[in-house]
Amino acid sequence: MDARQLRYFLAVVDAGSVHRAAEQLFVAQPSVSQSLRTLERDLGSLLFHRTGRRLVLTPAGHALVSPAREVMHALDVARATVEAVEGLQGGELVIAAMPSQSVSPLTGLIAAFVARHPLVQISIRGASTPPEVRAMLAAGDAEVGLVAGPPPLAGLGDLQVQTVETQRFVLLGVDAGALPPGDPVEPADLAGYPLIVGQEGTGMRRVAEDVRRRAAGSRFAVEVEHREAVLPLVLAGVGVAVVSESWRELAEAAGAAVRDLASAEALEVALVHRPARLSPAAIAFLTVAGEVNGPADQ
């Protein structure tokens, strides 16, 4: 068993077929097939059930995925560590981030990081909840995650946690006249208002449900799964959005009115990563984040 075999194996897992894996690897399809057969022979177990053109992982195949990703990650880290001896002159950093926190604080953190390490390529992968971020880190699809949830953050397993900030909730309206007077706005003052809310299981949905209970006649006008649609809906006058304060700067820049919401609810925002050795790019990113936001909480 060697690194090439594991790389081909993971490519087939991710692509779903030998043909697509070979295309993505830029190698001949027989090379991938031969590599899989050799790996199965070395391990003494079938890794895939072959049903026509589809390949389905066997129990042995499922068991190999996580260790294989660990090996490939370790090789990537080793290569990047050597390349970074003379300074961080390249490399890639993959971050799994929740939608609202991708607006802020992630934008500011990336700006600070890029100012110091402009040659590192950054990829941001979307995840709706902390468990989704955790799953992406476990699968090796990202090296660093950005999560948010009611403090204290729970359900993160053995992930290392670096607290970034605490966010409260705000209201967005197309203009000042679309929102009740006062700042902060009491939930009861939203009686009769149409609300733009997030999908179930999100912080903004939880707060919106509390508003609806306390504001007679208020209703959910639009439930938004795609957070990028929130601000356009507000600017179109569809309703008032209940969002985390990560949206404040962007909303104000777009001309929307923003008011604090009188709510005890808050979100703890944190960077998370697995205990495994990190790449130089990930270490540098966490270092910059710590400098921007103060000492890290481990």
Higher pLDDT, 172 or 203: 172
Higher pLDDT, 279 or 234: 234
Query: What sign for the dihedral angle of Cα 148, 151, 157, 160?
Result: positive
pLDDT band at 112 (very low <50, low <70, confident <90, very high): very high
pLDDT band at 248 (very low <50, low <70, confident <90, very high): very high
Higher pLDDT, 46 or 50: 46
What pLDDT is stored for residue 254 in this prediction?
96
What pLDDT is stored for residue 17 in this prediction?
86
DSSP string of the chain? --HHHHHHHHHHHHHSSHHHHHHHHTS-HHHHHHHHHHHHHHHTS--EEEETTEEEE-HHHHHHHHHHHHHHHHHHHHHHHHHGGG---S-EEEEEE-HHHHHTTHHHHHHHHHHH-TT-EEEEEE-SSHHHHHHHHHTTS-SEEEEEESSSP-S-TT-EEEEEEEE-EEEEESSGGGS-SSSSBPGGGGTT-EEEEEPTTSHHHHHHHHHHHHSTT-EEEEEESSGGGHHHHHHTTS-EEEEEGGGHHHHHHTT-EEEEB--S--EEEEEEE-SSPPPHHHHHHHHHHHHHH-S---
Provide mean pLDDT across the span 156-183.
Answer: 94
Provide mean pLDDT across the span 68-91.
Answer: 69
pTM of the predicted model, to two decimals? 0.73
Give tens-digit pLDDT for 253-265: 999 999 999 999 9
Q: Which of 2-6, 42-46, 80-84, 255-259 has the highest mean pLDDT?
A: 255-259
Percent of the chain with pLDDT over 90: 48
What pLDDT is stored for residue 105 in this prediction?
94
Mean pLDDT estimate for the chain: 88
**pLDDT of 31 over the 70 cut:** yes
* Structural domains of the chain, ranges and CATH numbers in brackets: 3-81 (1.10.10.10), 88-167+268-293 (3.40.190.10), 169-265 (3.40.190.10)
Name the residue among 245, 188, 231, 239 with its Cα closest to residue 212: 188
Which residue, chain included where needed, has tokens 């270092």? 287
Cβ–Cβ under 8 Å, residues 71 and 6: yes
What pLDDT is stored for residue 296 in this prediction?
44
pLDDT band at 292 (very low <50, low <70, confident <90, very high): confident
Whole-number Å distance between alpha carbons of 67 and 246: 37
pLDDT band at 176 (very low <50, low <70, confident <90, very high): very high
